[in-house]
Structures are given as C-alpha cells and as structure tokens.
Chain A
Amino acid sequence: MKTLSFSFSTKLTFDDYVHDHSFALRIIPPNTEAQKIISCGLDISPAVATKQTVDAFGNNVTAGYIQGDHRFLDFEIKGTAEVDSSKHCTFLMPCYLYQSEYTVPDEELRAFYTELKDKNISDVSDRAAFFSDILSDIIEYKKGVTTTATTAAEAFAMKTGVCQDFSHILISLLRMDSIPARYVAGLAFCDGETHSWVEYWTGSHWEGIDPANNCPVNDDYLVISTGRDFRDCAIDRGVMFGRYTQQLQLVRSVLA
C-alpha cells in the first residue's frame, strides 16, 4: 500500500472565441478495491457549473456547458490516494472479451497472433507477460508518429507508438486469446503526461500490466478511468462552436 499525491492539469487554448461549448471530463479517479481516494479537488476555468455522473464503465464524468464566448478551458485536479495493487477489482463486464473500435485486428495482426498462440503457456498472467515481452521487442516507443486516432492495427503496422498504442495492441492480442482485457488511463512514472496501461481478467479479478514499460503494475499507478479502449477513457471530450482554426493543449501531471 502506498499513499500517492497527484495533480494533473490541462490547458486548452483556442485561436479565436468559441461558444456553446459542451465538455465531458473523465479526470476524477474512482474509488475501487485497489485504490482509495482520500481527497480530490477539481478546478475549472472559466468558472462553470458542472455535474458529476458515473458512466457504464464506472468512470467519474464531469459534464459542463459554457454558453458565452471564451478562448480557453483549463482544468486541474489535485488530491491524494491510497493505492494497494495487491487488491483487485472483481467486476467483469462481458464486453471486455470482444474487440472494440480501436482494437479490431487486421490480417497482419491476426497472423501475428496466430504464430504466437500455440506457445506452450497456460497461465493467463504468463500469457499476458509473454505478449508484452514480444511487443517490447518489436514495437519502438516513439512519440509523434501515432495520434490519439491510431488503431491497434495501424500502430502494429508501423511498429511504433506510445503507451496508448502498446495498450491497444496488447488488448487486441489478449482478446484474440479469449482473455478479457481493458484499457486503463491514469497517472504513473511522472512523465508529465497521462499514462495508459492494460488490465486483463485472470478468471477471478483484474490484474494490471504496463506494456509500454513491459512491467507489472504496482502501487505507483493511479487509475483515472477504464474502458474498452481509448474512446471510453478520453480525459476530455468537447463540442464547441466558433471560428477557431487551432486548439492548443498543454498537459502537466505530477505524481509523488
């Protein structure tokens, strides 16, 4: 068990005024069997009334609407949490066994899996570790090549990606292997941004694995949201009107 203090902020800046801006943030970490949120404050600027709900995947959703003209949206969370990775979440949604938008394999990824699948490993955790090992050998961690829209199949074809891509490819492999798997967005390793990793179902509970770093998940990982893939876990989603042509996003995270 470890007590972590965390903070995370995002600054969205537009190059012209926007209005009728609806947003949904998945940014407040949930209380689960494996992590207890001691405190968590959220600041949003411009000041706006928000409502909290919990989505189908158990994530906290903060929804808001800014009607008038504005040129930025900043939000920040700060808090402390007790993380105990020896404890596990035990609720399985059946959909996690099935491929989702970002994880549907193409021919190449399916063929890659077919070559691996007969490897003589029976334990689920060992299989997950085995897949993660192979990925760390053949996929290069590199920023700026893939985007948040890149699918597992696309990243696999390029043999390059960031944590999100490693997660999608591993999830795709696990699901092809009939192991339910889910995407996790959270904070870890304090690299100044959000991190992503994977949880797989052992048959009785969820277990975390970090394919981008090819290591198991420990008490230094704070879960912010979980879902079928990145789509369910986007930190912020928004719709706005205006004549802006660019938006600039600055992200900063601290975990200690």
Chain B
Amino acid sequence: MTQQNIKQFTKAVGNATEINELLRRYGVKFGIYKNGVFNEQFFPFDPIPRVIASEDFKSIEKGLVQRVNALNEFLFDIYHDKKIVKEGIIPENFIYISKGYLAQCEEITPKNRIYSHISGIDLVQAKDGEWYILEDNLRIPSGASYPLIARELTRIAAPDAFSENEIVDNRNYAKLLKETMEYANCGGIRAILTPGRYNAAYFEHSYLAEHTGSVLVQNDELFVEDNILYHRTYSGGKTRIGVLYRRIADEYLDPLNFLPESLIGIPNLMEVYRSGNVGIINAPGNGVADDKGIYYFVPKMIKYYLGEEPILKNAPTYLPFYEEDMKYVMDNLEKLVIKDVAEAGGYGVVFGRDLTKEKLEEFRRTIIGEPRRFIAQEVIDFLDLPILDNGETVMRKADLRAFVLSGETTKVWASGLTRFSRNPDSFVVNSSQGGGFKDTWILK
C-alpha cells in the first residue's frame, strides 16, 4: 500500500471518531482490573490499517502452521511418552515446575490429538522486514473479534477502500472457528463458556457465540450427569454439549479437580473430558507449552518433531537457568528485556535500560536467586506503524497477534489483531496496558 493510498484511505474514513463512535455503540469494550476494581474501557481503534503484502503473508503463514503443529506434537508428547524430555532436549524441571503443566491431564488424548485449537501467536516485524515470534498463546488467546467488528464497521464507513484495494476478506473467522469446534465435537451442541459480563473479553465471547451459532453459557446453566455434559434448557430439559469453547482459565474449570473455591467452573467436567465425551477448546494443560521458559525451546521442538528448520525466528532469548546464558544476562542486563515467566498481559516485563543502577543491582540478585523465573531477550527494534493522533500521523510501536486454527488442517486466519502502544516511548502494546488496535489487511 502506498503512502498515497493511506492518505486516500484515511481521508475516506474521515477520522477515527466515526468508527470509534460506532464501536462504542456496538459495545466493543475491553475490561481491565486495577487494584481490585473492574473498569471497562473502549479499546481505541486506529483507522489506518496495517498492510501485509501477499508474499510476506505466505511466508508468515507457513511459519505459523509449522510452529503450531510442532506445539501440538509437543503437548501430546508431554502428556504421554515425554520423549523430548527423555532425550534431553528440554530439561525435565522446565516442564514440571511450570504452572501450566497439569498432572491431572496425564494420558488424556483429546479428539484428533489436537490440544491447541485456537493459537494466538504474537509477532513483531523488525526494521529490516524480518518477522520474529514474541510469544505463543495457547490457552485462551483473545482478540479475534476486534479486527472482525472493526472491519465490518470500516466497510460501512468507507466502502470504497475495499473496492479500490485488493484485500483478502477476513469475515471467514467465524466459519473457521465453527469448523474447528465441529472437528473437536464429541457429539452434541457447540457452547461457549464465559465467566460473565465482568470478564475483560465478554464482548468477544458474545460476539463469537452469535457468529458461530454456538450457545453462550455460564456455569450455572451446565451440569454433568452420567459422565455427559448438559445444558439446562429453559423448559427444564437438557441438551448434550459436544464441544465447549471455554473462556475461563484451567484452574477454575472444574472445582472437583482444580481450585475447589472456583465458582465459575463445572464440577466433574474433567471426568467427562477424560472419557472423550466432550471436547474442550483449548485443551486443559496447554499452559506448559506457552510458558515463557518453554518458548526458548520451540525452535528445537520444530526440528525434533517435524524434522524441519524453523521458518519463523524467535527473538534472541537467554535462559539464566543455563550458566552460559546467566553470564551473558549479567553482563548485558542494561540492554535486555527481562520477562517473568509466570506473568502475562504485559505485566512482569522489565527493560534493563529503564532501571537505575541500584535497581539493576537489585534485579541482578533477584535473577541469580530465581534463575528459572526469568527469560531475557534482546530488544528488537521493531517497525513503527503510522497511527492517527488528533488528526496528525505519528509513528508508534506495534505487534501482530496472528490467529491459527487447528482442525482437520492447520489454518492461519488472513487477518489478525495489530496492537500498538499509544505512548511514543513504549514497546509494550498489550491491550491491558492501555494500547489500541488496528485492522490488519492481507493483500491478495
């Protein structure tokens, strides 16, 4: 897309106000907890799309399919034979210390051996054009609905942009999701389980339920009887659920198997799942594969399981757990970004360059004390994207969350959630840190 096109497009859209007004009317919100208080925020939309050329997307697509296929193999292996550990490719304690590893899932084989049905893979493009994987999200990655609805509304506000530009239609997400759910279906209706309207992604839960023709449910509408998961109908009857796209975390999923104090889970759901009577999207226990410590090993997984060279690169990463890496991290702390492996959503990310001398020393000691808790990465100088700020075009850091759906085949949705930092000095783009989003156009 040329600069000229961008100008025309932004002109056509007018400014972001109209679409943001529409998003507001449609209730496209994002919930944030801070200090125990729930606030709903509008997720600010920027009308200038990120544009990815067809050739570029094809190579990203190949790389993502490869990566997600390897991650699915890894999950099967970890919960069965554990060959990758036995052969010494991944140290054993990286698996079993990980909070995402669930011993309760040992020996469970989900239908068609798919663990990560919906994977949200975060990438950034460096200034030289090379794409790097920042992290894998294999538990309950959210965000697909935002570019979807933004596209719908942009089409209303600026229909010409879509007749004048050769853009791949992204409105097939619901169809892909429905196919993915059906492939995991063990016999029954499709349901999306939400913790309720106070969840950060409630808008998305309802939007996806509506567009995939699934029932949007909360736990008090569900029960397990005779090792079958049922939905209570209004007339007092019951309907069997064959696949549950749950938008609640593993530890809350079943109070009789995980946290007993969970009020949003379904008692005995794990027994139904273990018996193969319901599909759960994504599979419980996936957290072991998107642990920030395990990220380091994904290129090795690709070689080990697929016998292929990784197409997409990881950001250069160091594990203080290894002596050699620890030395490098200690010597270069001020230029690295350090991530706490247990945190998500942009929390627990520290840039060495932002720390005072005293803080650096303190942090050094923390890392030496708990080497397994952190990873360190080179700061990638990633591409700035133009965004509109009060009518001016300014450049901001942005990443891309690509959505990969694994059903009969593994497919990459030809769109994605581009998130940007509204703060000119920040590299952190997470929506929970107050960032905004753009639509992502893949050109034909």
Residues of A within 8 A of B (CB): 20, 22-24, 49, 51, 53, 55-57, 61, 63, 65, 67, 93-95, 97-98, 228, 232, 237-239
A61-B271, A63-B268, A239-B256 known; A94 vs B82 contact (CB < 8 Å) = yes
Q: Inside 8 A of B104's CB, which chain A residues have their CB?
A: 55-56
In the complex, the answer to whether A63 meets B271 with C-beta atoms within 8 Å is: yes
Interface presence of B392 (CB below 8 A): no
> Which residue of chain B is the closest to A227 with respect to CB atoms?
B103
A-B contact pairs, 15 of them (CB 8 A): A20-B223, A49-B226, A55-B104, A56-B103, A63-B227, A63-B256, A63-B271, A65-B223, A93-B103, A94-B85, A95-B96, A95-B106, A97-B96, A228-B103, A237-B260
Q: Which one of B82, B96, B267, B275 lies within 8 Å of A53 (CB-CB)? A: B275
Residues in A neighbouring B95, C-beta threshold 8 A: 94
Q: Decide if B224 touches A65 in the complex (CB within 8 Å).
A: yes
Q: A238 to chain B: which residues have CB within 8 Å?
A: 256, 267
Closest Cβ of chain B: how far from A78's Cβ, in Å? 24
B227 & A51 in contact (Cβ 8 Å cutoff): yes
Q: Contacts A53-B274, A93-B103 given; indicate if A239 touches B96 (C-beta within 8 A).
A: no
Q: Are A57 and B267 in contact (CB under 8 A)?
A: no
Give bound CA distance, A228 to B85, whole Å. 20
A232–B275 CA distance with the chains assembled, in angstroms: 18
Q: How far is the CB of B193 from chain A (nearest CB, A)?
A: 16
Nearest CB of chain A from residue B26's CB, rounded to whole Å:
35
* Chain B residue, CB-CB nearest to A22: B267
Asked whether any CB of chain A lies closer than 8 Å to the CB of B233, the reply is: no
State the CA gap A56–B275 with chains docked (Å).
12
Q: Is the CB of A98 within 8 A of B96?
A: yes
- Contact partners of B275 in chain A: CB under 8 A: 51, 53
> How far does the Cβ of B25 sit from chain A's closest Cβ, in whole Å?
38
A152 to B97, CA, bound (A): 19
* Chain B residues within 8 Å of A, Cβ to Cβ: 82, 85, 92-93, 95-97, 101, 103-108, 223-227, 255-257, 260, 267-268, 271, 274-275
Residues of A contacting B223 in the complex (Cβ-Cβ under 8 angstroms)? 20, 22, 65, 67
A57 contacts across to B, CB distance below 8 A: 103
- Residues in A with CB closer than 8 Å to B105 are 56
Q: Of B96, B108, B255, B256, which contacts A94 at CB under 8 A? A: B96
B223 nearest CB neighbor, chain A only: A65
Contact B92 A53 (CB under 8 A): no
Contact in complex: B106, A93 (CB < 8 Å): yes
- Chain A residues, CB < 8 A from B108: 56
Inter-chain CA distance A232–B257, complex, in Å, is 8
Q: Which residues of the other chain, B, contact A232 by a CB distance below 8 angstroms?
A: 103
| Complexed CA–CA distance, A57 and B82 (Å) | 16
CA distance A97 to B82 in the complex (A): 15
Contact A22 B224 (CB under 8 A): yes
Tell me the bound Cα distance from A51 to B268 in angstroms: 11
Other than the given A53-B271, A56-B106, 18 more pairs (CB < 8 A) read A20-B223, A22-B223, A23-B256, A24-B268, A24-B271, A51-B227, A53-B227, A55-B104, A55-B274, A56-B103, A56-B104, A61-B271, A63-B268, A65-B267, A94-B92, A94-B96, A95-B106, A237-B255
Give every chain A residue within 8 A of B107 (Cβ-Cβ). Answer: 56
Question: If A20-B223, A65-B225, A239-B255 touch, does A51 touch B271 (CB 8 Å cutoff)?
Answer: yes
Closest to B228 in A: A51
> What residue of chain A has the Cβ atom nearest to residue B285's Cβ?
A56
A237 touches which one: B82, B96, B256 (CB < 8 A)? Answer: B256
Q: What are the residues of chain B within 8 A of A24 when measuring CB–CB?
A: 256-257, 267-268, 271
B180 to chain A, nearest CB (A): 26
**Chain B residues whose C-beta falls within 8 Å of the C-beta of A22 in the assembled complex:** 223-224, 256, 267-268
Nearest-neighbor residue (CB-CB) of B255 within chain A: A239
Across the A-B interface, the 9 shortest Cβ-Cβ residue pairs: A22-B267, A51-B227, A56-B106, A95-B103, A24-B256, A239-B267, A98-B96, A63-B268, A65-B225
Chain A: minimal CB distance from B317 (Å): 24
Q: How far is the CB of B199 from chain A (nearest CB, A)?
A: 21
Q: In angstroms, how far is the closest chain A Cβ from the Cβ of B88?
A: 14
User: In the complex, which residue of chain B has the Cβ closest to the Cβ of A100?
Assistant: B103
A94 to B275, CA, bound (A): 23
Whose C-beta in chain B lies nearest to the C-beta of A240?
Answer: B267
CB proximity of A172 to chain B, nearest CB, Å:
15
CB distance from B177 to the nearest CB of A (A): 29
| A56 CA to B109 CA, complexed, in Å | 12
Contact: B268 with A65, CB < 8 Å? yes
CB of B77, distance to nearest CB on chain A (Å): 13
